[in-house]
């Protein structure tokens, strides 16, 4: 069967059409740009070469992460966690905190009952993480597969959380619509009353709360360089069960 499918347009063709559309609008009406070309600076602190990078990407990440921890970098464990819902293809991102790193991957914890993350995970088990460490002019971008932790694994971390965070995990119907702040405060107050006779270590991990591990398929280390000619070294493997990583340099 011969199907006349529309030809995919290049970025240049899309840009030309956009320009023509803009020129055809009323010349007397010029749209005000709210942000345009903010002042920036050159990246000159470090470089990243194949000779100095470690063979294992988890070890290389741990090296960079510990350098960020030892500096005055603000919340170096903060990371943009992106998921995608299928079949719509809509992407959602949020800043979360990396809580653990092991030889398999990167661990974060959250509500897995009502959150957007959970809804995306049900249709698409691929996700990405992006770390930014401004003091070092560095980024790390990770693409991988989500693996849910067991209840026992999640409980191990939950047990060391502050009391308020434990109660919050029980109380919050994450991402559900609230009438106002008072509604949330009232739910928390009820949970505080429910747990008032329990010691901190007696508050158990709620079934709806837990951890996931993002098992990487690709980890890219980005080091800012002058004139936007950045160093980008990417570790890649075919599957999460493959122990062999290929290291390639990407054009900036």
Among candidate residues 138, 141, 213, 228, the one labeled active-site is 228
CA torsion angle 167 171 177 179 (round to 10): -90
* Residue 67 · residue 45 · CB < 8 Å: no
Token pair 């840009």 in the structure block, residue: 15
What are the CA-CA distances from residue 248 to residues 12, 50, 87, 223, 234 (Å)? 28, 9, 32, 14, 5
DSSP labels, 68-129: HHHTT-SSTTEEEEEEE-TTT--EEEEEEE--EE-SS-EEEEEE-SSSHHHHHHHH--EEEE
Give Cα separations from 67 to 80, 192, 247 (angstroms).
19, 39, 22
**Distance separating alpha carbons of residues 75 and 149, to the nearest angstrom:** 24
Q: Spell out the residues 6+ positions from residue 122 whose beta carbon is closer than 8 angstroms to its own.
A: none
Active site residue 236: no
Distance CA 235, CA 54 (A): 10
Residue 86 makes CB contacts below 8 A (sequence gap 6+) with 123, 124
Q: Which residues are catalytic?
A: 228
């Amino acid at each position: 069967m011969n199907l006349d499918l529309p030809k995919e347009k290049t970025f240049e063709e899309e840009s030309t059409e956009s320009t023509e559309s803009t020129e055809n609008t009323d010349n007397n009406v010029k749209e005000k740009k709210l942000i345009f070309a903010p002042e920036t600076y050159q990246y000159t602190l470090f470089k990243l070469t194949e000779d100095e990078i470690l063979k294992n990407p988890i070890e290389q990440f741990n090296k960079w992460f510990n350098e960020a921890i030892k500096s005055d970098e603000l919340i170096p464990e903060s990371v943009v966690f992106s998921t995608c819902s299928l079949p719509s293809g809509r992407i959602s991102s949020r800043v979360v905190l990396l809580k653990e790193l092991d030889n398999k991957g990167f661990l974060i914890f959250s509500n897995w009952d009502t959150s957007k993350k959970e809804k995306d995970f049900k249709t698409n088990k691929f996700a990405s993480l992006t770390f930014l460490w401004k003091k070092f002019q560095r980024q790390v971008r990770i693409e991988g597969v989500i693996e849910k932790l067991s209840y026992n694994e999640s409980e191990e971390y939950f047990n060391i959380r502050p009391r308020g965070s434990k109660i919050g995990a029980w109380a919050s119907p994450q991402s559900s619509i609230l009438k106002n702040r008072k509604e949330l405060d009232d739910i928390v107050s009820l949970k505080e009353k429910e747990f008032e006779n329990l010691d901190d270590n007696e508050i158990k991990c709620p079934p709806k709360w837990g951890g996931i591990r993002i098992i990487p398929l690709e980890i890219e280390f980005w080091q800012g360089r002058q004139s936007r000619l950045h160093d980008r070294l990417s570790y890649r493997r075919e599957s999460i069960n493959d122990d062999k990583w290929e290291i390639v340099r990407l054009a900036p």
